Every structure is written in structure tokens, then in C-alpha cells.
Amino acid sequence: MDTARLWVLRVNEADFSGWDAFTQWLEEDPGHLALYEAALAEDAFARDIAAAMPAVLPFTPRKPSVWRYAVPGAMAASLTGVVLWFGVLSGAGITEITTGPGEMRDITLADGTQIALNGNSRITYDADEPRMVTLAAGEALFEVEHDDANPFVVMVGQTRLVDAGTIFNVTSDGGAIEVGVAEGAVIYYAAGAEITLNPGDRLTRPSADAPAQVQRADTAAMGSWRDGLLQYDNAPLSDVARDLSRALGKPVRAVGGAQQMRYTGTLSATGSQQAVLEAASALLGVRLTETSDHWEMTPANAPSP
């Protein structure tokens, strides 16, 4: 079998010229062809595996000051690991990473760009386009290796976010999008609009057809979900509901007047689902009721449905 492996390695080299010797080896023994085919299958398996592994780059730890928000020591340490890619391979070269509810994942790309993926989220990546990532659903925090000649792009549906040397957070919810920039700049491109976002800017667009609006936001609060903290400043409960969906795994719908309620403060999204629910109910002044496919968030002082 080792000899067969050797033949595969040699034949696969572009400058291989030992075809007659190869023919002779194959003719020597009828079993040799089968071994060669087995070695080819091994090689195909190795290609699949390799496609799912990150291209190697030694990770360079970053200075703590780069992270604009409080990151507990343990979390910082976990960032230094290179997380393996794996694909639910839908096609050659396309890798998809999905997180379950409440699960977070750190990813480092071949170019050094780091992505923190929040719960219930999904990104896809095509090895043929190494400077582009698609956020299919959920939330991710990007720290991009800036390259003027080859800008990093995050696609959210038909919207392009182009890095201009950045740390930025993106949430995607159907056609709704929210982008917050902590450092550097991001250029937002969507039908008819081109908007440059600077540190402290937060762009919100409630649906694919709605216009995008830019407000000022607290950069220190951005990405706090990584610590399991959700921070809000007079935010409508529909926003809180959306963020809780990522922790709970089922959509959370603010109904019965809860959508208009507002919240200022911090919500903890770590711990057991029960703990999250209790904390959210108490702090937000709501009742959370589970149905088969979603959670209903209703004002606590309204009559029971």
C-alpha cells in the first residue's frame, strides 16, 4: 500500500514523467491497480479534510488595548486558539459554520481576520474568495486584517459591507441589518446607498426595503454579547427579543404592546435558559411564554392571553 501511495504522490506532481515505469508497476501484479485506486481515494479524502482545515498561520496575540470593551482574561486566552473550520460541504470549496443557540465560536481566517460568531448564527465562506464572508443569519463581530489592495467584504443578503481597517459588529435578521463600528471604517453598499461608517456609528435598517439610518452608539458596548452581556440604550423590546433569540434558539416575538416598550440597561444572556428567562422577565417587565416554534414576549402587567 505504501508503494501505491508513493505512486499517487509521484503521478500527482506536475512534472512527472515516469509513465513507463508506472505502467510496468501496474502490470506486475493485478492487485497493484486496486491498491493504486485505494491510494487515490485516500488522496481524495485528504483533500476533503484539508479543505476543512484552516490554512496555517501562526496566531499573533493582539495587544489588549485593541479590544474596546471589557474582555475577561479567560475569554482573551480563548481567542488565541485557531479554531478549526469544518464544512457541511454543500459544494467544492464552500464552507459553512453554524452555531447552535447560546453557542459562540471564534474563527481565524487564513489572512488573520478574526470572526466571533454569536449563537444561532451562520456564516459561509468560499475558499476561492478568501477575502469575503457571507453572514447568512445571526450576529458576528469582525476584526479584519486591513489590506487596501484587497478589502475584506461581508455580504449580508444583497448588502455589501466593505472593510476599511476595522472592528465591526453585524447582525442580520431576515432583511434587517445592523452594523456597529468600533475601530476603523466600514463602507455599507446596498441598493442605491453608499454609506461610510466610522467608529461609534451604528447603522440600522429594519427591513430590506427600508432606508438605512445611522446613529451614534457606545463603542464600548459593541460586541458585549461575547461576554454574555446585552447592553441597551432606550432600545425597543423587539430588538431585545431578537438578541434573546440567539441565546434561546427559537425566535422571540414581542407582541401585545411589548414591541413598543423600551429598555435601558444590561441583560445577562449567559447561564441556563431558565436563568436567562427569569432575568429577562424581571428586568424587562415582560412575561415569556413558550410555544412549539417560538417564544412570546408580552407585557407583564397585561392580562394573560
Partner 1 sequence: MNADQTPSGLQAVALHERPRLLRFLVARGAGEDAEDLFQELWQRVARTAAEPVADPVSYLFRCAENLMRDVRRSAVSRERRQFEWHEAGDNDAEYPLGERVLIARERLQQVDAALEALGPRVAQVFRAYRIEGRSQALIAREHGVSLSSIEKDLQKAYRALAQLKAKFLAE
Which of 21, 47, 92, 150 is the binder for partner 1 (CB under 8 A)? Answer: 47
Cβ proximity to partner 1: between 26 and 235 the closer is 26
Length of the chain: 305
What phi, psi does 161 have (nearest 5°)?
-115, 120
Q: Does 234 bind partner 1 (CB under 8 A)?
A: no
Q: Cβ atoms within 10 A of the Cβ of 144, count?
A: 27
Beta-bridged to residue 126, according to DSSP, are 94
Are the C-beta atoms of residues 269 and 230 closer than 8 Å to each other? yes
Cβ proximity to partner 1: between 11 and 132 the closer is 11
What gap in Å lies between CA 69 and CA 67, rounded to an integer? 6
Cβ proximity to partner 1: between 38 and 279 the closer is 38
The least CB distance from residue 251 to partner 1, in Å, is 17
Q: Does 21 bind partner 1 (CB under 8 A)?
A: no
Binding-site string for partner 1 from residue 62 to residue 101, where x marks contact by CB under 8 A and - marks none:
----------------------xxxxxx--------x-x-
Residues that bind partner 1 (rule: CB under 8 A) add up to a total of 42
What gap in Å lies between CA 85 and CA 148, rounded to an integer? 26
Q: Three-state SS across 154-175? A: EEECCEEEEECCCEEEEEEECC
What phi, psi does 23 have (nearest 5°)?
-60, -45
The least CB distance from residue 31 to partner 1, in Å, is 12
The least CB distance from residue 29 to partner 1, in Å, is 11
How does DSSP classify residue 270? -
Check residue 174 and give left, alpha or beta (phi > 0: left; psi -120 to 50: alpha).
left
Q: Does 10 bind partner 1 (CB under 8 A)?
A: yes
**Which stretch in 3-11, 60-68, 254-262, 289-297 sits in contact with partner 1 by CB under 8 A?**
3-11
Residues that bind partner 1 (CB under 8 A): 2, 5-6, 9-11, 13-17, 19-20, 22-23, 26-27, 33, 37, 39-40, 42-43, 45-53, 55-56, 84-89, 98, 100
